[in-house]
Each structure stands twice: as structure tokens, then as C-alpha cells.
Homo-oligomer: A and B are copies of this chain.
Amino acid sequence: MRKEIKLAGFGGQGIVLMGVMLAEAAGYYENMEIAQTQSYGPEARGGACRAEVVISDEMIDYTKTLNADVFVAMSQPALDRYLPEINPETAAVFVDEMLVTAVPETVRHLYRIPATRLAEEQCGSRMAANTVMLAAVVQKTGIISLEALSRTIRERLAPRLRDINLKALEITLAYLSGGDTHETL
């Protein structure tokens, strides 16, 4: 079992933290082997930012994603840049509904999640958009358990981040259970 997740957006959206949380959730609470990569440039606070997580039940020799099972794009440039590396037939593609408007029709499993809007309206901060998106990915794909994600937020994050992230998790689950996910499956 090898699962690969690619996350991309602009700096300041918490893309790296999303990767770290996913990796720690799987590594600490689901007993998996983990490889996690982030890359960014000097324009990190506003430019392109990418994180990758490989989760496996065996030792991981190759730490990069080869064939992502999940791809998250938090900006249009991120989608445009990394979609060519993804298999549009098989990957589950998650985009921020507000920030990514043009998605090629070749993408078969598309989830439009209003991550930034929900974070702003219901958590009072855009900063929580990364956790809203991560919660949606976990809920929709089961790539890790919700319990592992919740424990990671409670046990690994600094206190000032904990509450807003737990709130983000909660509002996302409430939103998704409302059935309004704009899936095109």
C-alpha cells in the first residue's frame, strides 16, 4: 500500500503545514512509513509552494510522488502547473472553489471545496482554509482516518493553532454532511 498526495498553492496558505499535518497523522497515529517533501522559493510568502506526502506500509525508498492518488490545488496557477503531472483519470482532484475556476474536463474525480470561504465566514480567518481542505480530503478519500487528523490537531499543534483548527475540522464535516460538495464523480 503506497498512497501519494500532492498539495500546491501560494505561500501563506499553509501548504507546508498541510503536508506536515497529514504526514504526522499517518506516521504517529496510523503506524505508517512517511516521506514528506516541501519546496518553495524566496517569494515563499506569496509565490508557488508545493508539498508532497508519501504514505506506505513499507520502507519508502522513493520519496517523490510518481502517480498522485490525491492532488490539492489551492490556486489556479498551482492547478495549471501541476495538473500535467497528475493522471486525470485516476487522481482525486480537490480545488478551492473560489480560487480555482478553470478545471479541464479531463479531470474525472473533481471536488470543489469552498475552503477559503468557509474558513473566512465560519472560522473568522482565511488561515484555516488549509485545514478545511485537509479535512475535506480526509473525509472524502479516507487516506487517513478522521481520528488521526483530529489527534494531530489536538496533540501536535501549538495551543494558539489548536482551537481554530478543531473548529475548521468541525465546520468542514458539518458542511460535507450537508451534501453540498459540488462533486463531479
Contacts and interface: CB of A to CB of B under 8 A. Distances in A.
Nearest to A62: B64
Contacts of A125: none
A116 interface: no
Contact of A158 (B33, B38, B42, B158): B158
Contacts of A42: 27-28, 31-33
Contacts of A33: 39-42
Given A63-B64, A64-B63, A34 B39 contact: yes
Contacts of A27: 40-42, 44
A185 interface: no
A158 B159 CA distance: 11
B59 A37 contact: no
Q: How many copies does the complex hold?
A: 2
Contacts of A34: 38-41
A173 interface: no
28 contacts: A23-B38, A27-B41, A27-B42, A27-B44, A28-B44, A31-B42, A33-B39, A33-B41, A33-B42, A34-B38, A34-B39, A34-B40, A34-B41, A35-B37, A35-B38, A35-B39, A36-B37, A36-B38, A36-B39, A37-B37, A37-B63, A39-B60, A39-B63, A41-B59, A63-B63, A63-B64, A64-B64, A158-B158
Interface string A1-39: 000000000000000000000010001100111111111
A38 to B, nearest CB: 5
Nearest to A48: B59
Interface string A152-175: 000000100000000000000000
